[in-house]
Chains A and B, each alone.
Chain A
Amino acid sequence: AQSVTQLDSHVSVSEGTPVLLRCNYSSSYSPSLFWYVQHPNKGLQLLLKYTSAATLVKGINGFEAEFKKSETSFHLTKPSAHMSDAAEYFCVVSDGSGGYQKVTFGTGTKLQVIP
């Protein structure tokens, strides 16, 4: 069984300050972990993914996430928020390695960026 918990439903930061979106997971197998971003009324875009290689993963738009097995966490960070980062972010866990992948989505974190 697998699950993912996004600890904050809403996060508000000032433009130019760091962003931290928290995600904890549980999985019976070695998981793959993803962060997706969704702008209003749009589909989801992959930001980054972890698939058992380097534990610090760099993604698009300056985001990165660190896989910490001991803490079962995969928090998303960015050093300096930009107005265009305002969106909803989803943490996803998958224990598939090919074929049909069973994925579980977190409930999402809405990021507000204040000018």
Chain B
Amino acid sequence: SQTIHQWPATLVQPVGSPLSLECTVEGTSNPNLYWYRQAAGRGLQLLFYSVGIGQISSEVPQNLSASRPQDRQFILSSKKLLLSDSGFYLCAWSPSWGGSRGNEQFFGPGTRLTVL
């Protein structure tokens, strides 16, 4: 079976510090990978998605970047955090092949980031 991991679970960082959040998927190959941010009282905003190693697409301009150094590893980074980067960050994967399960996304447990 497939599992998705995120770490850390919670993080408190000062403004201007760097950020690295990691997401890994097990039990599948060549997944589509996604980073979402959920701000308090708002829905999920898609930040980045990736359909393969080294292939990153950004949905919105922001202070963050993403990388996919391995097939099942997705990293969210920032060089200098802003207060507005606070939120709940969720990683998700979906199968890249077709079929009835082809467009379902599976979510990780999330990382709660607080920027002070």
Contacts and interface: CB of A to CB of B under 8 A. Distances in A.
Given A41-B88, A44-B90, A105-B44, A97 B110 contact: no
B27 interface: no
Contacts of A96: 102-103
Contacts of B44: 44, 90, 105
Contacts of A49: 104
A94 B49 CA distance: 15
Nearest to B99: A98
A108 B90 contact: no
Q: Helix, strand, loop or mixed for chain A's interface?
A: loop
Given A51-B100, A98-B102, A105 B43 contact: yes
30 contacts: A42-B109, A42-B110, A43-B90, A43-B110, A44-B44, A44-B92, A44-B107, A45-B107, A46-B106, A49-B104, A51-B100, A90-B44, A94-B103, A96-B102, A96-B103, A98-B96, A98-B98, A99-B32, A99-B51, A99-B96, A99-B102, A100-B49, A100-B96, A101-B32, A101-B105, A103-B46, A103-B103, A105-B43, A105-B44, A106-B43
